[in-house]
Amino acid sequence: MTGAESSTIFGNYSENPIFNSEVPLSYEHIPDIDDIVGRDEEIKKLTNTLQRLPQGEHAVPFMVTGDTGYGKTTVVKSVLDELETEMTNVGLDFVYTYIEDRENEREVLRKLTKDLDLDYNGSDLSMYYQRLREEIKERDLNYTIVLDDIDALFNKNGRKDHGNTVLKKLYEARKDVMNNSDGSLLIIGVTNNANITTQLDPKNRSRYADDAIQFSPYNANQLRQILRVRAEKAFKSHALEEGVVGKIAAQVAQGQGDARKAIRILRKAGKIAENNEFEKVRKKHVDEAKVRVERESVLQTAKNLPKQKKIMLYSILEEKRKSPKYKHLFSKYEKVCRNEDVNPVGERQRRNIIEDLDMLGLISTETVTVKDGRGNTNAVNVEIEEEEVREDFVEYMDEEVFGYE
């Protein structure tokens, strides 16, 4: 590999006219708590709720809600880091586990026991809870579990209700800990999906969702500030034309008010300038950057779907009728399944899948009146605007999922 240098985000930036470093624009970058813009109220609510722990009391489980990119993960992590320091200061044994995007009960439990160094990873799930209780009680430990993107646990795969099961079992563990030790167990759920409470069973709803801390969109001012802090670190001085940050902030504020998207657009605009060897990032690059970011994110959503949902989306995209009715769509779906040697799911589950794809904004469903006037049926429309995204997804399915040469 002599002399063959490939560029990474840590690459050599000394000669780069645009970037100092892309790290401040990367996904993992967590700002210092003092650099968190416009979330004072949310931070205060969280702090108030958690305040009981350093006072040696129990905090009540709660949910954090708000759309993607509203700063939920950033704020919760930063506040918990502060809590950790405070707990050490007052001499209490404290550990927190941050769990993101786990799809089933076992994955959650594995992560918990691993973080606490409990040497169990067998197949009896009830043993995990037992070990957890024992450990907390023995140590009088104050243990906080964050289930971030808890929606993933509610993605119905199979018959088991992983989300409600985990929440219920952890709540039972919490009671045991409270009654039988000086330790504590706190569970915090974080979700992008405000409807998640409708999926909680009534008991879990009153245990977890009565107290929710809601995050709202960022306005243009806040986005500008968020971007400015990152831009100063990421870009060479004078690499950004005046007004680039303001333009991105204004555009994103008019849409979802999503800080993640704003940061992505800024980075993409930088890449466009870099790759084309422009000496500056110009305002006109922002539009192209936005289109590309949106395209990538739709494609990513589609690629992250579980297999059955991918197959349904593929069937919808490959169905040549415009707005196919369910009947036609389902026969297409069955044909795809037959060709690929996949077992088709039942009719009820097909409808659930379609509902989920609709919620993600990939398709929309409509009720249409049947021609002969004898009632209504459902039809499906593709909501992915870009032809290129549709083609990319079909190609991805053919090559990587179905394995065509």
Residue 54's binding partner out of Mg ion, ligand ADP, none, with CB under 5 to 8 Å set by partner kind: none
Tell the smallest beta-carbon distance from residue 25 to ligand ADP (Å).
8
Query: Of 54, 61, 71, 257, which one interacts with ligand ADP (CB under 6 A)?
Result: 71
Asked if 234 is part of the footprint of ligand ADP (rule: CB under 6 A), the reply reads: no
Identify the residue among 19, 24, 39, 132 touching ligand ADP (CB under 6 A): 39
Q: Does 73 bind Mg ion (CB under 5 A)?
A: yes
Nearest residue (CB) to ligand ADP, 215 versus 333: 215
Continuous segment of H or E residues that includes residue 372: none
Residue from the set 18, 36, 59, 357 that interacts with ligand ADP by CB under 6 A: 36
Binds 390: which of Mg ion, ligand ADP, none (CB < 5-8 Å by kind): none
**Sign of CA pseudo-dihedral 82, 87, 93, 94:** negative
- Candidate residues 69, 183, 189, 270; the one interacting with ligand ADP per rule CB under 6 A: 69
> By C-beta, is 21 or 155 nearer to Mg ion?
155
Q: Is 74 a residue that touches ligand ADP (CB under 6 A)? A: yes
Give 244-306 as a DSSP string: HHHHHHHHHHHTT--HHHHHHHHHHHHHHHHHTT-SSB-HHHHHHHHHHHHHHHHHHHHHTS-
What is the helix (H) or strand (E) element at residue 236, kind and residue range?
none
70 near ligand ADP, judged by CB under 6 A:
yes
Residue with tokens 């909501």: 383
d(CA 34, CA 27): 19
Per DSSP, the residues of 131-191 read HHHHHHHHHT-EEEEEEETTHHHHS--SS--HHHHHHHHHHHHHHHHHHHSS-EEEEEEEE
Q: By CB under 6 A, name the one of 226, 313, 353, 362 that touches ligand ADP.
A: 226
DSSP E strands: which ranges in 83-134?
94-100
Nearer to ligand ADP, 17 or 38 (CB): 38
Q: Which residues bind ligand ADP (CB under 6 A)?
A: 29-31, 35-39, 66, 68-74, 226, 259-260, 263
